[in-house]
Chains A and B, each alone.
Chain A
Amino acid sequence: MITTSALTLFGLGFGSAAILSVASKLLYVKEDPRIAQVEDLLPGANCGGCGYPGCSGAAAAIVSGKANAGVCVVAETEAMVAIAALMGQTIEEREPEIAFRDCTGGTRAEERFAYAGIMDCQAAAMLHGGSKSCPEGCLGLGTCVAVCPFDAIHMGPEGLPVVDPDECRACGKCAEACPRGVISIVGMTSRLLHLNEVTDCLAPCRQKCPGQIDIPRYIQQIKAGDYDGAVNTIKERNPLLMVCGRVCPRPCETVCRRNNVDSPVGINMLKRFVADRELHGGTHLPVPCAKDTGRKVAVIGGGPAGLSCAYFLRRLGHSPTIFEAMPALGGQLRYGIPEYRLPKADLDWEIQGILDLGVDVHLNKRFGKDYDIESLKQDGFEAVFLGIGAWQASGMYAEGEDLEGVWGGIEFLTAHALGQSIDIGKKVIVVGGGNTAIDCARTCVRLGAEVIMLYRRTRAEMPANPEEIVGAEEEGVQFKFLAAPTRVVGDENGRATHLEYKMMELGEPDASGRRRPEPVEGSETLMEADLIIPAIGQKPDLTCLYDDDAESCPVETTRWQTIVADPDTFQTIVPGVFTAGDVFTGPDLVISAVGGGRKAARSIHYHLQQDGDIPIPDTLQRDLIPYTMFKEVTGVRQSERAQMPHLCHGDERNCTFSEVEGALSETEALAEADRCLHCGLTCYDRDMEQPEEKEQQIL
């Protein structure tokens, strides 16, 4: 029996071994020995943070070329270098990424209902969207904290997750677990490329800003005394913060929730405060740029759109070259905005900061004459940005406007900025009610003339900034409202001597919502003038785009002389040719041009890196989000808005081109930052109840 048993087992074993031996010979598959070697170099944490099932999966992916040597989120640089050496790869510096929480709400967002045992974010989000009145914000249940394999995230006192940057490995588990998209893994490039989405934590000011600046964030940084941090936050969206701090008409402030309490936060004053701090510090704060890609991009036009586009392209690692027709960069910042509002020396300083990043410049090069799109392509430029602005003044459509002594508003300001001597005489009539008209009027006052502004509607309907109108009035500019020019009268030498105008009265509202001015018959009056400046609008000069025969133009244009492009990607009908700024939108704000420049740079980046595939988010923010626009803001006490200090007084103000407005002091800036309600989509900071108020309630 024992013998039989032994023989049987031996036979079975031998049979199995024989079969396996033959099978191993016949079925042998050569396996890459590097898989085992790579696996030995990995830390063996099996955390899954790399996206593969364990370290052996990651090792196989590295050897098959599906993953790079740095795929492991736990391995130190030493292991990464060893794996790369084994795989014959080289280690390149990777842009650091980290988990980032974009929600300001936390416990400030009102609860919609009380939980009954379902204490994780995903379940709560599935059940009526969560507990908070905000449909997008953090639910504060800490699911992200539970899933973090590196203990790099914890719930802070405000009910919001706080990321420890030293521990975060950017594995993405928190972002994956968050049902609201509050947490994302971001590096500098993804932050620069991000467009506002309705699912972001967008305070009303963030929604309204054409530059998409994270306004609540930089105001909080100012409040915390982190002024450099505030500058960096602004520079992620706007390289011209010093300029905008001076000339921006502040659309953000029009939707500030404080409007419902007292007056809006002085957002632009705060921007100017930190920008001036950097300016007076004398050195530009370091701006990080991605690794060089070596891709050349031609930026045509050195105005705000072109400068912005070049700045963001450079930060994304590309090599932009600006081609400018004028002798200096800045576009209408330099030639359209007078010195007393924007000192040229300060503008030069800000532009130099952009150029120092590694942007090439060719001045006095006119597009269509010195070069064109074809020649740029031959020179190795892989994409072109057209930001040639709106330099042509619109006419008054009045008889005699071509007489000598009639200057278009932008032409006048440009000639003055170029230092050309202009005979303005003693009496100047400026026609128009916008900021350019005011700039012309205030410039002429400084040149010693008596100035009358003619506007066809009432003062309340003037599109210029109210502060500008008051400033002009204080400097002696006279206004004649409800008056429209009809004819320019000249002398025998062909020089304008008078402007004939008609009085108007307001009729029914027109498409713009303003009441349409209608002429009063028989009210024609002559007004004496040495110089007449129609400043009633501008349009792009597109002649440079046309061939010599002036018939064919490579890009499509509109009847307003603007270039047609995709409103999301800014790409024209010519692949690889992008546009933004006034030549695309028509005359608009500096910050709109800056925002357009960034969006175009984003599109160019994708065009170069992804063969023309430019992604547009599904939840892109296009308009103000209705539920975030409050009619009533409760629980906030009134406080006084800061006043911008005046730098020039009395005669000095009218006679020199010195800067008129100053910056806030640090104390004023901190007080103004403290007025910010730190809004999210629906949440905002309410004032704490005062002890006496509590007592009164108890009584």
Chain B
Amino acid sequence: MQEYFLLFIAAIFVNNIVLAQYLGNCPFIGTSKNTGVAIGMGAAVVFVAVMATAITWLVQTYLLEPLGLGFLQTLAFILVIASLVQFVEMFLKKMVPPLYKSLGIFLPLITTNCAVMGIALICQRKEFTLVKSVAFAAASGVGFMIALVVLAGIRERLEIRRVPRAMRGTPVGLVMAGLMSLAFFAFKGMI
């Protein structure tokens, strides 16, 4: 139990997927202008990351490794994640329209989200079991969501502040992301 607890804390704070691993910066900056949008995107990442990690683990363990095709990992994972996102989108649209509407544009955005891909690859590199991989994926997704929501809160306030014209929007967003990243480095001493 302690192992999973540490895994969670490490994935959320110490090795935060976006602030410590620098993965998923595009959606991080692109969808952090509004807290509501940030929560939607964060939820979508958690959902897709968990599903993608589980399926890629199965593909790696039962297809690529037995055939000695580990070098195809990246290509295979891209294929699987893109297809999975498309499938999930269709499934939710038909079966759970309210959830589909709440995720909205974020599901297709995740197709090209390297954070999801990164989570799947990290699980393989660290040779996690299926259950651990899923737990790690969920924790990393939550870490992404927390970073996104915090940055959105900051940027909402920046909207009404006197920011030099050249720094408005993405530039000041990146500066804030950098500062947040520095702040998250302080968690390194936790574990």
Q: Is chain B a partner of chain A in the same complex?
A: yes
Chain A interface residues (CB < 8 Å from chain B): 1, 4-5, 8-9, 12-13, 16-17, 19-20, 23-24, 26-29, 53, 56, 119-122, 142-143, 146-147, 177
B86 at the binding interface (Cβ < 8 Å): yes
Which one, A20, A28, A177, contacts B83 given CB within 8 A? A20
What B residues does A27 contact at CB under 8 A? 90-91, 93-95
Q: Which of B126-134, B136-144, B145-153, B157-165 contacts A (4 or more CB under 8 A)?
A: B157-165
* A699→B63 CA distance, assembly (Å): 97
Number of B interface residues at 8 Å Cβ cutoff, please give it.
Answer: 27
Min CB distance, A182 to chain B, in Å?
15
The 5 closest A-B CB pairs, nearest first, are A16-B83, A27-B94, A27-B90, A143-B160, A29-B93
* A29→B89 CA distance, assembly (Å): 11
A119-B69 in contact (CB<8A): no
User: In the complex, which residue of chain A has the Cβ closest to the Cβ of B75?
Assistant: A9
Known: A16-B79, A29-B94. A147 touches B67 (CB 8 A): no
A8-B87 in contact (CB<8A): no
User: In the complex, which residue of chain A has the Cβ closest to the Cβ of B161?
Assistant: A120
Which one, A4, A121, A143, contacts B67 given CB within 8 A? A4
B172 at the binding interface (Cβ < 8 Å): no
Name 18 extra pairs, CB < 8 A, besides A12-B59, A16-B83, A146-B161: A4-B69, A8-B64, A8-B69, A12-B63, A16-B79, A16-B80, A17-B83, A19-B87, A20-B86, A24-B90, A26-B94, A27-B93, A29-B93, A119-B161, A120-B161, A120-B162, A146-B160, A147-B160
Min CB distance, A381 to chain B, in Å?
46
B26 at the binding interface (Cβ < 8 Å): no
A13-B94 in contact (CB<8A): no
B182 at the binding interface (Cβ < 8 Å): no
User: In the complex, which residue of chain A has the Cβ closest to the Cβ of B92?
Assistant: A27
What A residues does B99 contact at CB under 8 A? none
Interface string of B53-93 (1 = CB under 8 A from A): 00000010001100111001001100110010011001101
What A residues does B76 contact at CB under 8 A? 8-9, 12
Of residues 96 through 131 on chain B, the ones whose CB sits less than 8 Å from some CB of chain A are 104-105
What A residues does B72 contact at CB under 8 A? 5, 8-9
* A577→B3 CA distance, assembly (Å): 75
B37 at the binding interface (Cβ < 8 Å): yes
Which one, A8, A28, A147, contacts B94 given CB within 8 A? A28
Question: Chain A interface secondary structure, helix, strand, loop or mixed?
Answer: helix
A146-B159 in contact (CB<8A): yes
Min CB distance, B39 to chain A, in Å?
13
What B residues does A121 contact at CB under 8 A? 160
B159-A23 in contact (CB<8A): no
What A residues does B86 contact at CB under 8 A? 20
User: In the complex, which residue of chain A has the Cβ closest to the Cβ of B76?
Assistant: A12
* A99→B100 CA distance, assembly (Å): 37
What B residues does A23 contact at CB under 8 A? 87, 90-91
What A residues does B63 contact at CB under 8 A? 8, 12
What A residues does B95 contact at CB under 8 A? 27
Q: List 19 A-B contacts (CB under 8 A).
A: A8-B64, A8-B69, A8-B76, A12-B59, A12-B79, A16-B83, A20-B83, A20-B86, A27-B93, A27-B95, A28-B94, A29-B94, A53-B34, A120-B161, A143-B160, A146-B160, A147-B159, A147-B160, A177-B160
B105-A56 in contact (CB<8A): yes
Min CB distance, A150 to chain B, in Å?
15
* A660→B80 CA distance, assembly (Å): 95
Which one, B59, B87, B105, contacts A20 given CB within 8 A? B87
A120-B69 in contact (CB<8A): no
* A13→B160 CA distance, assembly (Å): 48
What A residues does B94 contact at CB under 8 A? 26-29
A122-B162 in contact (CB<8A): no
What B residues does A28 contact at CB under 8 A? 90, 94
B160-A120 in contact (CB<8A): yes
What A residues does B91 contact at CB under 8 A? 23, 27
B87-A12 in contact (CB<8A): no
What A residues does B68 contact at CB under 8 A? 1
* A582→B59 CA distance, assembly (Å): 87
Which one, A13, A24, A53, contacts B79 given CB within 8 A? A13
What A residues does B162 contact at CB under 8 A? 119-120, 142, 146
